[in-house]
Each structure stands twice: as C-alpha cells, then as structure tokens.
Amino acid sequence: MADEFDLVVIGGGPGGYNCAIRAAQLGLTVACIDKRGTFGGTCLNVGCIPSKALLHASEVFEEAHHMGALGVKADKVSLDLPAMLGFKEKTVDELTKGIEFLFKKNKITGLKGTGKMLSATEVLFTSNEGEEKKLTAKNVVVATGSEVISLPGIEIDESRIVSSTGALSLEKVPGHLLVIGGGVIGLELGSVWRRLGAEVTVVEFLDHIGGEMDGEVSKTFLRALKKQGMKFKLSSKVTGVETSGKTLKVAVEPAKGGDAEEVEADVVLMCIGRKPFTAGVGLEDVGVMLDERGRIEVDGHYRTNVAGVYAIGDVIKGPMLAHKAEDESMAAAEIIAGKAGHVNYDVIPSVVYTNPEVAFVGMTEEQVKAAGIDYKVGKFPFTANAKAKVGGMTDGFAKIIADAKTDRVLGVHIVGPDAGNMIGEAAVAMEFGAAAEDIALTCHAHPTLSEAIRQAALGVDNRIMQM
C-alpha cells in the first residue's frame, strides 16, 4: 500500500517540488523523486541560488572599493574566496533543507534516487544506494529539467573548461576568464569573476548581448558592463580550445567566418544555452513524444500524448526560468486534482541579476514593431530619480511600451538598480490588463526607485514631470 500514490513526480526542482507541494495541499498522496543528494533541482543547487549568493557577495566586495565618495574609508578590503564560497554553500544548504521541511509538513514522500517510468502507472525508483522499488502512480509528472549545451569538440571538464556549475566553485580567481555566450549566465557569472579580479572576455555570436531583450536596453547594458571592465567580442564564435599547454588557447572567429585569432585564457566558461534533460526517464518505453528540439510535447493542460503522464518546467517549451516552472507546477497540480489551472505566458518576467540589473516583462519594442502594432513609448532615466541619486546608482532607465489606441501596457523594460524587484509591479499591472494611465495615476512613495516606472508611464502620454 505504502508504494501507491495519486501522483509521482520525477524531478525535485522548482517545477517538481512545487508541484508535489500543491498536489499534497489539494489532498493527493504524493512522492517526489530526485537523483541529486538534495532537493531543489538546478535552481537551488547549482543555478539561481548559488549564482545570486556569489553575485551579492561579489557586489559587496566591489562596492567596498568605492565607498570613499560616501565618506566611508575601507582601505584594507581583501578577498577571502573560500569564505565567499562557504557563504554560497551555506545558503544553498539552508534552502535545500527548507524543502525537506516542506515535504514533511505536507506529508510528501521525498525519495533520493532515480525515477524511471515502466508504464504510465508504474515508476521504478532506484535509490542512490542502489535499492530498487516499484511505485504505482495514478498520475506521473515529469519535471526533469535541463542540462548545459556544449560546442562540438570542446569538452567540459569543470576545472579549466567549465559550465555554470564549475564556474560557481572555482578555487581561485582566474587571470583571464573567457566566456562563450553573452546570455544570462555569461553576463551574471562573468560579472562575479570580473568583480573578484579576473579579466573577463565575452565572445557572443550575435551583434548584441542578452538574447531577446529590448534592443535599447541591451545597448545601455553593454555600455555599463564595458565601463566596469568587461570585454566583448560580438558577432564572433569560438571554434576550438587547445588544452595541451598551461594556458588554454581559444580560437575565435568572426560569426560569418574568416580568419581565427588565438586568445589565451586560464578558464573557459561554456554558456551558449541549455537543453531539456530526458535521458533515463523511460519516456521512449512509455511512448511519450518529444518535439524537434528534444522537449516533451504537452498540450495546454501539461498532458503528454500518454494519458496520466504530464510534464512541466525546463523539459517542455518556453523560457527556462524557475518561476515559469513554478507557475506550471501549480497549474498542473490543480489540473490533476480536477481543478482549473492556467499560466499566462504573456506575463512571465525575466531578470538578469548584474549591476545594473535588467528586468523585463511583455513585448520588446522590436517585437511590437514586428507585430505591426501602433505603439507609444515612455522612458525615464535613473539619473533623474532621487533614490537612485542618493544611492549613486544612476545607470539606466525604465521604459514602458503601450498600445497607441488602447493605452494598454504591452511591455515594461528596466535597466537599472533593483530592476528585478521593481518588475513585479509591472507584472501585476499587466496581469490586470492595466493601461499606462493606470500606472501614471497610482501614487508611488517618494523617494523610491519605482517612481521611475510611474514617470515612464507619464511619458507614454508625453507628460513626464521630473525631467
């Protein structure tokens, strides 16, 4: 009896563990399996949380060097890297233990080991110690996440050629870190090691950084990172890494092809994207269909083509973000419990936790243009925001794009201090179908950074007051 469940979740990341919790809250008997020694998935163990701990610690280190202007003398600032890495580990440890607590509280059976579907209603659990047991499940949710993509011929060894996982635990600050890919991981972890003293060069295939972020934001962001000392080789690609010598010799070519230049580096960080992880889950045996990019195919209710088998998170289509996985986890659990579950994919915020931060939700100006929508833009720089000024953090701006006819907010883009926290306001407004005028008429406390959002909203109608 004990091995029969209403729901077995394979994968204990933000998709899996939240799905288990919501389903248990709704009265289902639930088991959640993860093969890592700890729950929390990529996000808690080797993703969001350790990277943000290092981003925070390295930012404090950087700021400590620049406090003279505030009248604070900190002459003997030095780096204790093992202690900084220890802070990161402690943060991860406490949060992963928090999930164990939540599992106990919600009477979820947490199983550490591998889950493999034998049929739509049977999952073989092999514990990390090698013991096997068959679980019976009325429903199965696959939430097995994603893994790093590498370039052909370049092998990640997690010491000199690292993925984000290795880059979160380098034992010493590299002299020169070469980052392949100017997306989220490259810019966040590149920032960490630049602040700690490394020379950092980012090689990006496209002619801009940050992937699909708003073009104007991307340009301002690039300028700010260059000012901090990060170097960029845009419209370029890495074609090989020679590892035989003491330093790595990286071949960098123009993206369109042409002569390669050789760049020496101590460490290479590979971050050109991630792909869904589906190996060993038994999907082929059960007949679960994948799409052309290896993602599990689901319908609007997270149902695969096999009855009773669902999938959520990085392993299905959509942005690979923890909060997207979490939203899907709630919706899937509710659907399995016979309720209505829904995710609004038009309002999923994205944040890059650098300094300045970049945060956005909704459509970029390029997307609005391409869709042929008649639009208006309001923009407000942080140089004119009092709170940014008193904090000495005036890089960047807030930008609101609204439909010219209806005034409905289509997108909000912020590059600046604390943009990640501020984007929540924009997401709530958009979820409620707000017009720019609604934000413009909402009283914002003074002095706060969020006043920049209100001024940008006023700007949609050409009536910015503070500039």
Q: Which residues are catalytic?
A: 446
Give the closest residue to 323 by CA, choosing from 8, 97, 48. Answer: 48
153-182 residues near ligand NAI, rule: CB under 6 A: 180-182
- Find out whether the peptide bond into 14 is cis, omega within 30 degrees of 0: no
Torsion of CA 273, 274, 275, 281, to 10 degrees: 170
284-343 residues near ligand NAI, rule: CB under 6 A: 319-321
Query: From the list ligand FAD, ligand NAI, none, which binds 183 (C-beta under 5 to 8 Å, kind-based)?
Result: ligand NAI
**Do strands 199-203 and 176-180 pair parallel, antiparallel, or not at all (unpaired)?**
parallel
Q: Which is nearer to ligand FAD, 240 or 420 (CB)?
A: 420
- Alpha carbon separation from 440 to 434, 435, 455, 457, 462 (Å, rounded): 10, 9, 7, 5, 11
The residue from 41, 84, 108, 204 that contacts ligand NAI (CB under 6 A) is 204
Q: Which is nearer to ligand FAD, 11 or 362 (CB)?
A: 11
Residues whose CB falls within 8 Å of the CB of residue 76, separated by 6 or more in sequence, listed in order? none
Binding to ligand NAI by residue 352, rule CB under 6 A?
yes
218-257 residues near ligand NAI, rule: CB under 6 A: 237-238
Give the closest residue to 3 by CA, choosing from 187, 176, 133. Answer: 133
Binding to ligand NAI by residue 195, rule CB under 6 A?
no
Query: From the list ligand NAI, ligand FAD, none, which binds 204 (C-beta under 5 to 8 Å, kind-based)?
Result: ligand NAI
Q: Write down the residue that tokens 């009536």 correspond to.
A: 463
**Min CB(269)–ligand FAD separation in Å:** 10
**Min CB(399)–ligand FAD separation in Å:** 22
Residues whose CB falls within 8 Å of the CB of residue 212, separated by 6 or more in sequence, listed in order? 364
Query: From the list ligand FAD, ligand NAI, none, which binds 268 (C-beta under 5 to 8 Å, kind-based)?
Result: none
> Of 284-292, 348-356, 436-444, 445-453, which segment contacts ligand NAI by CB under 6 A?
348-356
Contact at 8 Å (CB) between 110 and 39?
Answer: yes
Q: Which is nearer to ligand FAD, 286 or 457 (CB)?
A: 286
Contact at 8 Å (CB) between 54 and 47?
Answer: no
For residue 98, give both structure tokens.
């928090």
**Min CB(182)–ligand NAI separation in Å:** 5
Q: Which is nearer to ligand FAD, 217 or 351 (CB)?
A: 351
Residues 352 and 53: their CA atoms lie apart, in Å, by 14
63-92 residues near ligand NAI, rule: CB under 6 A: none
Other C-beta atoms lying within 10 Å of the C-beta of residue 159: 11
Query: From the list ligand NAI, ligand FAD, none, which binds 277 (C-beta under 5 to 8 Å, kind-based)?
Result: ligand FAD
For residue 426, give both structure tokens.
């924009």
**Min CB(273)–ligand NAI separation in Å:** 4
Contact at 8 Å (CB) between 309 and 117?
Answer: yes
Q: Which is nearer to ligand FAD, 43 or 230 (CB)?
A: 43
Largest CA distance in the chain: 69
Binding to ligand NAI by residue 353, rule CB under 6 A?
yes
**Min CB(353)–ligand NAI separation in Å:** 5
Q: Write down the residue that tokens 């943060």 correspond to.
A: 91
Query: From the list ligand FAD, ligand NAI, none, which binds 449 (C-beta under 5 to 8 Å, kind-based)?
Result: none
Instruction: Catalog residues that contact ligand FAD under the rule CB under 6 A.
Output: 10-16, 33-36, 41-43, 47-48, 51, 114-115, 143-146, 164, 185, 277, 280-281, 313-314, 320-323, 325
Check the CA dihedral 315-114-37-20 and report its sign: positive
Query: From the list ligand FAD, ligand NAI, none, which binds 174 (C-beta under 5 to 8 Å, kind-based)?
Result: none
**Min CB(32)–ligand FAD separation in Å:** 9
Query: From the list ligand NAI, ligand FAD, none, which binds 436 (C-beta under 5 to 8 Å, kind-based)?
Result: none
* Residue nearest to ligand NAI as judged by C-beta position: 183
Q: What are φ and ψ of residue 272, in 5° steps?
A: -105, 20
Q: Which residues of 404-414 are buried (b: 16+ CB within 10 A; e: fewer)?
A: eeebebbbbbb
**Min CB(217)–ligand NAI separation in Å:** 14
Quick one: which H or E segment has residue 376?
strand 375-381
Strand partners, 397: 381, 415
Site of interaction with ligand NAI (CB under 6 A):
151, 180-186, 188, 203-206, 211, 237-238, 271-274, 319-321, 351-353
